[in-house]
Amino acid sequence: MPDMPWITESAPVLPRGRFRQRRRALLASACAGLLSLGLAGCKSPPKFDGNDITGSPIGRDMAMVDSGGTLRTLADYRGKVLVVYFGYTHCPDVCPTAMAELADAMHALGSDAKKVQVIMITVDPERDSGPLMQKYAQAFYPSFIGLAGTAEQLRKTARSFGVYYAKGPELTPGNYSMNHSSSFYLLDQQGKARVLLPSTAPAKYVIHDIRQLF
């Protein structure tokens, strides 16, 4: 898979999601199939800018703890569009950038922001507690939630999302970094996986795809 074209720092011209063309082709063939069966009209499902992961079990087994120590699963967030991001607090650049972008998206959504729940899950259970994750997430936007858990809880949850994480080198004495998948997972109000976007995707694509799930 080549690098995402939109991450290059100096490229102000951003391509339309390249996943989209593939999806369009699939849609077209699906509609053609239905038409050939004589079914009138083909109500097109949402067109996402990100990668459509509808039908996948991604995230289904999420189970992490909140700042009060309560185990949280997808069932707790029914009725909200979920945006899930995996990161860690000792992350000076990419995680705060991703979270700031999501905060930006919430501001852009205005009154619709209350239909969205952003959840950040730590990939660094050694250093990130539930209360620290909550404090961190809330620093970006008041309604954001941070979840933590044991190494085992993280292992299961990350596997459910297909998230990779591993300790990286110590960049300064005693401060290791984490290598991790940096993506936004969008789940609909029923907790079903719908869209996967790189966290470097421009906010307008994230906002667009969130809106498709209202």
CB atoms near residue 169 (< 10 Å): 7
**Given its phi and psi angles, is residue 37 left (phi above 0), alpha (psi -120 to 50 degrees) or beta?**
alpha
Binding string, residues 157-176; x marks residues near another protein by CB under 8 A:
-------x---x--xx--x-
Among 22, 135, 167, 204, the residue binding another protein under the rule CB under 8 A is 135
Amino acid at 90: H
> Radius of gyration over alpha carbons of the chain, in Å?
18
Whether residue 164 contacts residue 151, with contact meaning beta carbons closer than 8 Å, is answered with no
Task: Give the Cα separation of 210 and 48 in Å (integer).
Answer: 9
CB closer to another protein, 37 vs 166 = 166
- 189 contacts another protein (rule: CB under 8 A): no
Task: Give the Cα separation of 187 and 133 in Å (integer).
Answer: 21
- 180 contacts another protein (rule: CB under 8 A): yes
CB closer to another protein, 31 vs 132 = 132
Whether residue 126 contacts residue 88, with contact meaning beta carbons closer than 8 Å, is answered with no
- Name which of residues 88 to 127 contact another protein (CB under 8 A): 89-94, 96-97, 99-101, 103-104
CB closer to another protein, 177 vs 189 = 177
- 56 contacts another protein (rule: CB under 8 A): no
Backbone angles phi, psi at 72, to 5 degrees: -115, 135
- 143 contacts another protein (rule: CB under 8 A): no
- 36 contacts another protein (rule: CB under 8 A): no
Residues engaged in binding another protein (CB under 8 A): 1, 3-4, 7, 9-10, 12, 89-94, 96-97, 99-101, 103-104, 132, 135-136, 139-141, 164, 168, 171-172, 175, 177, 179-183, 198-200
